[in-house]
Structure 1
């Protein structure tokens, strides 16, 4: 006898490539995910975070999420973990749509959202398996922002601990609650949105959130029967964990750093007295992301094999050509040209076409990281300033009455003001939090 868990993650609804919408292929891959889930006939479906790409998604994407989750909820109960791109208010509104403005309370029991990791708010749930008398018990931990860590610590010393140390305490507490009163036929599932040390990011994730400072140790993961993890877009097993734990990964290639990655969903069959069976099923609905590099003649030789794809082209040329974009469009009639670069000796310049391309501008994070060292912000101070910026962007609706030390640092650095008045020593290692804040 086994319990069946269907695991998907990191949909990032609303994600675009340049100015190009991905709605059509997103709808196709959500249909594919639903079909695979229906064929597998699971006892529980887990979405391990980042339902949306933006903390303020458009109404179309919220409706798309609600429709997809409703279809999955008709197959089996669904648990959705809040990721670092998700906000509690948006997920609450998504559930409001799912329940038809509160007129269908049954929908709330079929699709549940985990948005709080505090002991009195933690999502712990039990679901009976279809085979025999097995019960799946799930503990769901949403993403915990390093600078907005909210948890009830009984040990005051942990208020000044590193992020990894505090994560260890939270996960230990979750495991204790999950395993309390466990019977011989109970299957334990841990669902979380976090970065585990030693795993391989795709780097289409927010880079500040996949650094060693904000990593959880594999040995600290709760000892369960299956770990359904989200946050890393590359599908992979957590090989250093002592139990089956996997990142389902994103269902679409998110950027050109993921070219060649095969996306998938995870099918887990777990029993109390049998070896677990963990399978992955490839997803084929998404368009490939392909980078073509070489001379125009070399690219032409490869063009016939490209077909329908998102394409970034880097062309080696002797002289700039005003007709490069149109020539490439003829070579790649089924592809969407996202970016075209002309590369000459010691120079690089974009060749743009309104119809076929868009320039990939540096992100605000990259510009800020390049700018701040010139204003005297380097080393750990730079890391903390960038972490503060990331969290301010991730939590646009968060009410923070008193700016934290990192925010003072970031504001002063951008304004070019002296940093002598900022007490860097008050920053707690690895937490992005000041000692004064922890006593509030």
Structure 2
């Protein structure tokens, strides 16, 4: 069985106000052509199909067209990610099953596979811990507990079907061993976000989504990453998808297939005069750029002058040489490792001249949980 593993399309997302829909359509063309040329038997889409729970009409139209083209060539199994609305993405799923596009968005169906020949494919949509904790009778909170129970159900079904079955799982989670970027939405409010790779032991392949870089967590547990960069922190990523051959007995080979990108991205820094005149920056003239100017004093009209050389510069920062790190660090650097709950606590401390009390943090946590659960039900 030849499998293509992709994820995190985020249809409808922009990049620093640059509309990416045409680039996403070009990726869809490349994906369909690869399926045709490589004789792919199964496409796995591991969540975050859309960028928003209520996607734009053009994004829905692109998704509809892409799935229709894929259905004419192969089978597709697709799950909801934390950006997707389970209700909207799952609309019409029973009808799409008949066309060979299997959309899995409901946690209640975890453990029910799509059977393709002698392979059972189990879709585990993004699991909001507090939504599944009561229905599944979980004693512990957090993503690890939710996925552990989901995989228990998968293994139970695999065992019931007997020997000789090849098993594949799709999941959308933060598995230990992957590396985050700035463009993934934080999922830690619902409990500890990290899940050990050992949760997926016992299946032939686990196709992961959520992290935007391609990662081989283990030989049988992999992230495909997003097909496009959605933040400058992804400047070192090679974008693409996995092509896998799953043979009888569970033997697996995998090859990463890069995809064309609309424009390379990079982060550069230096004094303005060097950025404008130094030949070592020539290779960045056609890139989307995040530029950090390091002059001792902020230069006037810096972005206007930089765009004469770098017409695709998108973001400008100022970090003067010799400044203290706290003074020079930009907002994104200061909040990179902090959760939304931590930032809300900082705000309370700022406006009350004192750290948030235990009661205030509990109230903030409740508010974040309410918003998360409301979005999950959207």
Where on the TM-score scale, by shorter chain, does this alignment land: which range?
0.7 to 0.9
**What residue in structure 1 maps to residue 281 of structure 2?**
303
Distance 2:214 2:74 in 1: 23
Distance 2:245 2:363 in 1: 42
Q: How does 1:36-435 map to 2 (within 5 A)?
A: 36-93=34-91, 95=92, 105=95, 108-119=98-109, 122-128=111-117, 135-149=118-132, 152-153=135-136, 158-160=138-140, 163-184=143-164, 186-209=165-188, 213-239=192-218, 244-273=220-249, 275-300=251-276, 301=278, 302-333=280-311, 335=312, 337-344=313-320, 346=323, 365=340, 368-374=344-350, 376-377=355-356, 382=361, 385=364, 389=368, 392-393=371-372, 395-396=374-375, 398=377
Distance 1:162 1:310, change over 3 A: closer
Q: Check conservation: 1:255, 1:289, Cα contact below 8 A.
A: no
Secondary structure in 1 matching 2:284 = coil
Distance 1:292 1:227, change over 3 A: same
Distance 2:68 2:246 in 1: 25
Distance 1:151 1:73 in 2: 36
Number of equivalenced pairs: 365
Quote the offset at 1:48 in angstroms. Answer: 0.4
Distance 1:150 1:124 in 2: 22
Secondary structure in 2 matching 1:304 = helix
**What residue in structure 2 maps to residue 355 of structure 1?**
none
Unpaired stretches in structure 2, ≥5 consecutive residues: none
Query: What per-residue deviation string (whole Å, max 9, x for no partner) do you get for residues 182-208 of structure 1?
Result: 342x32111111121232222421234
TM-score, normalised with respect to structure 2: 0.84
Quote the offset at 1:39 in angstroms. Answer: 1.6
Root-mean-square deviation (CA), in Å?
Answer: 3.4
Q: Which has the larger radius of gyration?
A: 1
Quote the offset at 1:340 in angstroms. Answer: 1.6
Query: What per-residue deviation string (whole Å, max 9, x for no partner) do you get for residues 309-357 of structure 1?
Result: 2211111224443332222111113x2x21122333546699xxxxxxx
Secondary structure in 1 matching 2:70 = helix
Distance 1:53 1:387 in 2: 25
Q: Check conservation: 1:78, 1:111, Cα contact below 8 A.
A: yes
Secondary structure in 1 matching 2:228 = coil
Distance 1:339 1:70, change over 3 A: same
Quote the offset at 1:62 in angstroms. Answer: 0.9
